[in-house]
Amino acid sequence: MTDTSEITEEKARSQWADVWSQFRSHRGAMIGASFFIFICLLVIFGPMLWPIEPNFIDIRAKNQGPSLAHPFGTDQLGRDTFAQVLAGGRVSLLVGVTAMGLALFLGTFIGVLAGYFKRLDSPLMRLTDLFLALPILPLLLVIIMLFRDTLRAAFGPETGIFLLVVFVIGITSWMHTARIVRGDVLSLKEQEFVLAARSIGTPSHRMILRHILPNVMSPIMVSATLGIATAIITESAISFLGLGFPSDFPTWGRLLSDSTNFMTLNPERVIWPGLAISLTVLSVNYIGDGLRDALDPRIRGR
């Protein structure tokens, strides 16, 4: 007689093997994943290997074009643009991942509560509709202008702005995840295994943690990848408008904002941070497409 646990374990392994096989067959997803991993490794280890500091000022080398000493050229103060792009990538990606985590937690929490508890469905969904109706970018700018000085004084100029930007992006990006999770929970609630667990008196918190959440992981993972892209673009927009990190603290949006004043002198300065933002967001979107196809059993079974 075959052990039931061995059958279950084999089934789980084969399911994840099918997911990985489907993901590998998506050429765009594999290219996107490879490029995103390359960007992450570059911004993490690049500043350690590149000999020039991002804030090192060499006024004699200001406004230079690409060269062997400065592959991306220099800015108006003689700072190396390549070093600044590497350092700015650390901040932009960290903001994107952290803000995505906050938005994912809020969206999953609200979506599960709204889908599982009928009495909470209407008020939580009306709250979600309220946030969806708000003009996000003006709201972001108002919140940052109101609280940035307080947080700078409490945590320092860099840490305070980082916490504020992550919090603001996170609390304004959870709504789509909440609606997707709610729809899946409403469907799962009527499945036989949930009804069977409820019939033997399983508490609600155990039902959610053991039966509901594991079955809504696929839309959550897809929302996570797309949320990183949204957070990176939002942070770049805030920094481009001059309301993000300090001017001596590089991010891709800040570099893009600073370089617009020198477009006629050094047009390539606009290209590098803009290209980094565009390619990173594009790679994350391709990863999201691949995950959506790989985690969909109807597509995976083709």
Q: How confident is the model at residue 161 (pLDDT cuts 50, 70, 90)?
A: confident
Residue 3 lies in a domain: no
Q: Residue 273: helix, strand or coil by DSSP?
A: helix
**Packing angle, helices 175-188 and 81-116, rounded to 10:** 40
Range of the domain at 150: 14-63+72-300
Is residue 165 assigned to a domain? yes
8-state DSSP, 249: S
- C-alpha closest to that of 148 among 233, 259, 229, 242: 242
Q: Is pLDDT of 34 > 90?
A: yes
5 is a domain residue: no
Domain count, the chain: 1
Distances (CA, A) of 240 to 168, 255, 261: 16, 8, 12
Query: Does 230 reside within a domain?
Result: yes
DSSP state for residue 53 in the 8-state scheme? -
Whether 6 maps to a domain, the answer reads no
Does 50 fall in a domain? yes
Q: Any idea what the CATH number is for the domain that residue 245 is in? A: 1.10.3720.10
Domain annotation covers residue 187? yes
Q: Which of 12-21, 78-87, 190-199, 288-297 has the lowest mean pLDDT?
A: 12-21
Rounded to two decimals, the pTM is 0.80
Please report whether residue 284 resides in a domain: yes
pLDDT per residue as tens digits for the range 211-254: 788 778 778 887 888 788 888 888 888 887 777 777 777 888 88
**Closest of 219, 228, 222, 225 to residue 99, by C-alpha:** 228
